[in-house]
Amino acid sequence: MPSIPVDVLLVILEHVSRADLATLCRVNRICCSCSQDVLYRNITAVDPRVTQTLAQSTYLAKRVRSFVCFGSHPFREISIALKNMSSLRHLGLFKVYDATILNGCTFQLDTFYCSLNYCELLRKFLTGQPSLTYVYFRSRPNVSIPFEQTLLPTLTRVKARHEWLPRLIPGQPVRSIIMFNPDSTYGPVDADFDLSFYALSTGPLQKLNIPFYFLYPKPASLLISSFPFLMHLVLSFYPQVTVIVRRTSIINK
């Protein structure tokens, strides 16, 4: 083992199963350190014992680059674990609804998935994340809380409810958007849904996944002016049917 360069060992470990990585952690100090780098790089926390481990071990938590958490975990342990993940780049918080969990976090994210309600605490967190290029917001925005265009200066991809888009797109380099089908709980879709803000992306916008009824029956001239650089369009028909339209089709129509 001492004759194998560390960089070569890391390449080998990329092809080892997680169960075997755990076994290799017991071979020697070098194998343990390298195996832990791979083993803890991408974490999907379903079992509360995972967050407990990361809350108790700063050494292991610093190795995490991607962390996805699905609720049902003790709040205090998730909060401590997140503070320990100083090298985190990708964060997903599902069925987690208290934004105070982000207080004191020092990581700089590239991607952020969350079901958190938009509040002043979430706004404060986003202010400290200038490197975010992708956001996934499942909840509705709170219009009483400002969302400045300077919040996400490098945002290129968005997945969110339609109420978020007029706040996320203008002045940002957004190139790709996925829009959720509206929840019937909040009433019918507004037939006069404004499309003009799409053209305000500095991206320019090239990929769009949008429910069909947000476009129909708007005139083609409005669609062309709203999406002048669009190359890939997916029209969804609730609940399952989708239609994909390429740029050549858009031009020909």
Query: 5-64, pLDDT tens digit by residue?
Result: 777 767 776 767 666 677 777 677 777 777 777 788 889 988 888 899 999 999 999 999
d(CA 83, CA 95): 19
Say if residues 59 and 52 touch (Cβ distance below 8 Å): no
Q: Where are the domains of the chain?
A: 1-39, 41-154, 176-253
For 218-250, give one letter per residue: b (16+ CB within 10 A) or e.
eeeeebeebbeebeebbbbeeeeeeeeeeeeeb
pLDDT bin (cut points 50, 70, 90) of residue 250 is: very low
Q: Express each pLDDT in 137-193 by its tens digit.
A: 988 888 899 998 889 999 999 999 888 999 999 999 999 999 987 665 444 555 567
- The pTM of this model reads 0.81
Percent of the chain as helix, strand, coil, to the nearest 5: 35, 20, 45
**Spatial separation of the C-alpha atoms in residues 102 and 121, rounded to whole Å:** 8
138 Cβ neighbours under 8 A, 6+ residues apart: 94, 114, 115, 160, 161, 180
Sign of CA dihedral 17, 23, 28, 29: positive
